[in-house]
Structure 1
Amino acid sequence: MNRALNFNAGPAALPEAVLAEAEKNWLNFNHSGMAVMELSHRSKEYETIHEQAILLLRDLLSIPDSYEILFLQGGASLQFSMVPMNLLTEGKAGNYILTGVWAEKALKEAEKVGETFISASSKTQQYKSIPTVNAKTSENAAYLHITSNNTIYGTQWQHFPANEGIPLVADMSSDLLSRKLTIENFDLIYAGAQKNLGPSGVTVVIIQKELLSRSSNHLPTMLNYNTYATHNSLYNTPPTLAIYLLKLVLEWAKELGGLTVIEKRNEEKAKILYDAIDCSEGFYLGHAEKESRSKMNVTFNLPDEEIARSFLHQAKKEGFIGLNGHRSVGGCRASIYNAMPVEHVFQLAAFMKKFRRYN
């Protein structure tokens, strides 16, 4: 079977080897006579899956023992609320750097919880870049929140803000596991899995253990980070199938060579598409400024809407999936997460060059 040329922004393509392994064990996992989603989350079979997923994440990302790894549900959107609910103590302000729609949504949820402060923003520049100035934090900053990669606008942090004693919180839903990180530079990282980590349904939270003391006992049980830390993310039934697939993706990443190899592959894929844009003599117009370009989401437009519609129509006929830009900005977007084969990116670049010749 030919695999789709899947450039969807998320849920995104999964590695073919992962899907094949899951299919092999679909009806009978580890001779249990049951599928993974039928296993009790208290069973030894599932406990092994759960622990392996945590250990693989800790290994691949070099996460120190001073951090807890949590598996939650609700996606990054729930974290927009949980972060301020757990970290925004009385008399403090949640500080936010706005680089796109998802950062705006995170700020909006924090405003419902307590005081907020906008440390920097590139909104007036149509979110074409990451703010280059040092973020100005409020004197009573509880934390500084960033969105590491902006799927809608195709921008990405290349260098992160200095911590300077203020906890750094990062929504890394669309680029966690795509490049090497120094985890100690962050105090809390959260990521919906459906870009690079696995399928939708599980959210990974990596949190400095010292931060857990901020969570009030008056919080609803399921909105308190301590609930998950204390019970190893097994207080209630976790998304077992999603965690199993997450584990398979992490095994695939490790076998591939880890983040060193993955980062190099992602740089290669991004270069192929950005070269196609930059060498088009203005036919393809990249949205993001060069120094802020994302290696996960390549956003671009064409000379006018009629040509853009023709491009998307022809691309669909050629088998390319998910190249429409986000509904809020239009244009085109190619999402090239970890599982995207280099060969598919080459095919897209070739199509872009061919389309330009005929138009």
Structure 2
Amino acid sequence: MMSKVWNYYAGPCMLPDEVMDEAQRDFRNFANTGMGLVEISHRSAEFDKVAKDAEALLRELLNVPSNYKIIFEQGGGRGQFAAIPMNLLSENGTADYFVTGHWSRCAYKECAEKYGNAVLHECSYQDESGVWHVDYSKMTVSENSEYCYICLNETVNGIESFTLPDTKGVPLIADMSSDIMTRPIDVSKFGAIIFGLQKNVGPSGMTITIVREDLLGKARKYCPSILDWSVLSKFDSMYNTPCTFAWYMAYLNFKWIKNLGGVEELERRNIKKSKMLYDYIDSSDFYISKIAANDRSRVNCVFTLKDESLNDEFLKLSKAKGLIGLKGHKVLGGMRASIYNAMPIEGVQILVDFLKEFAASHS
């Protein structure tokens, strides 16, 4: 049964009811072991099966080529902002950062301030009317570049990149924390893909890295072993005690996605959901989307009220009606509705109905 509230938080986010129900059953007695899910050893046969099945499902769902390793790591995206240069950037090397919003800028700063020569490419801009666009022509490769970094979906800004830059053979490293599993991707076009679980895959506390084998073995001497992709790969992601609960939840989500029809079916649903929401906002003179239509995120709809003095009232009333998490990120303000994979079309329709009702009562 659907919960009494609709969860539009950007992460941790809502998870599918079926997944939550199965996890609830296993929480106290996992696989008839008599032990709870969070109590069993990561070395047990029961968890070993979960780990192997999770990787196999992920490979199947994303058609991950055999020459890519899949690593289940502790932590989140900020840890990978450091892990990427420490694994791939030589002491005197150069890396290109294609910045389209808040998180790619954070990744750039982490590299530039601590690890080496990071070249900043400002790849988004506001036009005369205040609308944001992605400028792919700015995604150029520097001489002797060792990798290029891109965040394909900027959760704070509501910008999603649907075109990949031509990096001329230089490995493209992508943060897909918020749009992984929402649409098909060609993994072979990337040197590595990293994503936190807490948007479309599971709870917070774990990051998955999909990395091409030839990029392993390049880590700096001072790279902590726990962030060294080569070490983690060698130990099958169990160099330390992993976050077994998050790994298990990822497994359940991968099963749920496969049973739905895979990422192709999720893309169809996400297009339909986002179109419903953006179509209403565009038809309204009460709400404003400041993102160009071709660059709007399908999973993080960022918008503002034309009269922002109504923001507090909007959030108070929406919460009272069971619509939770609509406040925009503190960096940008405004409103944000995150409608990830687990959000059904019903949840988007209820949100649109509320937007209409609020606008009508304040017109």
TM-score, normalised by the number of residues in structure 2: 0.95
Question: Is the Cα contact below 8 Å between 1:134 and 1:161 reproduced in 2?
Answer: no
1:358 Cα deviation from its structure 2 partner: 1.7
**1:42 is the counterpart of 2:43:** yes
Partner of 1:301: 304
- 1:91-130 superposed Cα distances (whole Å, 9 cap, x missing partner): 3211101111111110111011011101333266689222
**1:118 is the counterpart of 2:113:** no
1:330 to 313, 318, 333: 333
- 1:223-248 superposed Cα distances (whole Å, 9 cap, x missing partner): 21111110100111000011001100
More displaced, 210-219 or 312-321?
210-219
Partner of 2:12: 11
The residue matched to 1:46 in structure 2 has which SS? helix
Using the aligned pairs only, state the percent identity.
41
1:329 Cα deviation from its structure 2 partner: 1.2
The residue matched to 2:41 in structure 1 has which SS? coil
Question: Is the Cα contact below 8 Å between 1:88 and 1:94 reproduced in 2?
Answer: yes
More displaced, 301-310 or 222-231?
301-310
- 1:202-241 superposed Cα distances (whole Å, 9 cap, x missing partner): 1010000000032245532112111111010011100001
1:355 to 333, 354, 358: 358
1:251-290 correspondence to structure 2 within 5 Å: 251-280=255-284, 282-290=285-293
Distance 1:77 1:334 in 2: 23
Partner of 1:340: 343
The residue matched to 2:11 in structure 1 has which SS? coil
- 1:64-90 superposed Cα distances (whole Å, 9 cap, x missing partner): 111000011120100000000110013
Question: Is the Cα contact below 8 Å between 1:100 and 1:123 reproduced in 2?
Answer: no
Partner of 2:108: 107
Amino acid of the residue matched to residue 119 of structure 2? F
More displaced, 211-220 or 347-356?
211-220
Give ranges in structure 2 of 5+ residues lacking alignment.
none
Amino acid of the residue matched to residue 107 of structure 1? Y
Give ranges in structure 1 of 5+ residues lacking alignment.
none
1:229 to 224, 229, 233: 233
The residue matched to 1:213 in structure 2 has which SS? coil
Partner of 2:62: 61
Distance 2:161 2:219 in 1: 28
Distance 1:286 1:124 in 2: 13
More displaced, 297-306 or 56-65?
297-306
1:75-90 correspondence to structure 2 within 5 Å: 75-90=76-91
The residue matched to 1:200 in structure 2 has which SS? coil
Distance 1:127 1:212 in 2: 40
TM-score, normalised by the number of residues in structure 1: 0.97
The residue matched to 1:170 in structure 2 has which SS? strand
Please identify runs of 4+ aligned residues in structure 1 that moved more than 3 A. Answer: 123-127
The residue matched to 1:153 in structure 2 has which SS? coil
Distance 2:116 2:64 in 1: 30
The residue matched to 1:12 in structure 2 has which SS? coil
The count of aligned residue pairs is 358
Partner of 1:204: 208
Amino acid of the residue matched to residue 15 of structure 2? L
Question: Is the Cα contact below 8 Å between 1:127 and 1:153 reproduced in 2?
Answer: no
2:171 to 167, 170, 174: 167
Distance 1:46 1:274 in 2: 42
1:2 Cα deviation from its structure 2 partner: 4.9
- 1:185-213 superposed Cα distances (whole Å, 9 cap, x missing partner): 11110000000011111101000000003
The residue matched to 2:174 in structure 1 has which SS? strand
1:302 Cα deviation from its structure 2 partner: 0.9
Question: Is the Cα contact below 8 Å between 2:95 and 2:147 reproduced in 1?
Answer: yes
Distance 2:92 2:206 in 1: 33
Amino acid of the residue matched to residue 148 of structure 2? L
